[in-house]
Amino acid sequence: MQRGQFITLEGGEGLGKTTNLAFIETLLIERDVDVVVTREPGGTVLAEKLRQLLLENNDEPIAEQTELLLMFAARAQHINNVIEPALSQGKWVLCDRFTDSTYAYQGGGRKIALTTIRWLESFVQQQLRPDLTLLFDAPVELGMKRAKKRGNLDRFENEHWVFFNQVRQAFLKQAKNYPQRIKIINAELSLAEVQQSIKQCLDLLR
């Protein structure tokens, strides 16, 4: 059986990943693709509990190292119980965030050494990497304006502007380092234009 394709959606806050995740799922189903939709952190019962710990606002500060390790703990569970089984069965996996977010948020935002992240990436993922990553990009001001309209902000969304600018630059650096895999989607465009760009990127996987 042919192995499935692994597609990830990345980007800062409020840039339309959730909306376009549903669009991509519909598009793939129309193309008779058996698709599994999931997210990070999360995707399994245990990983979702870790997600709650990571996102909720609480009085006890989470150490940067703790945050990084919780991310990869959730990812290990996710890969072993959801992603790898689906790919091995020929299904396509569509995931809202993956390790590029770790490089952006914990590497760019928290300034954790990239060598540490790379070691954990190899340890947890082995050879697993996305086949295609769609990076939704727009100025931080636009993304946060949209995010605030959604209501209460989680622990990451409550970070300062400098943090989010560092995150954006880290995402763009990832795209520069892996241009064959990571395709930048201009999230400032209209929804129709964004989705046209997405279609063109998905055609690369046919």
Task: Please check whether residue 1 lies inside any domain of the structure.
Answer: no
Weakest-pLDDT range from 66-80, 89-103, 158-172, 191-205: 158-172
Domain assignment present for residue 59? The answer is: yes
Q: Dihedral of the CA atoms 193, 196, 201, 206 (nearest 10)?
A: 180
- Give 31-42 pLDDT, tens digit per residue: 999 999 999 999
CATH number of the domain bearing residue 155: 3.40.50.300
Q: Per the domain annotation, does 111 fall within a domain?
A: yes
Question: Three-class SS of residue 7?
Answer: strand
What is the C-alpha separation between 18 and 139, in angstroms, rounded?
A: 18
Domain around 143: 6-205
- Residue 142 covered by a domain: yes
Q: Is residue 175 part of a domain?
A: yes
Classified as helix, coil or strand, 147 is helix
* 58 within a domain of the structure (yes/no): yes
Vertex 143 angle, CA 141 and 145, to 5°: 65
In the chain the first and final C-alpha atoms are separated, in Å, by 16
Rounded to two decimals, what is the model's pTM?
Answer: 0.92
pLDDT score, position 129: 98
Please tell me the total count of domains within the chain: 1
Contact 137, 16 (CB under 8 A): no
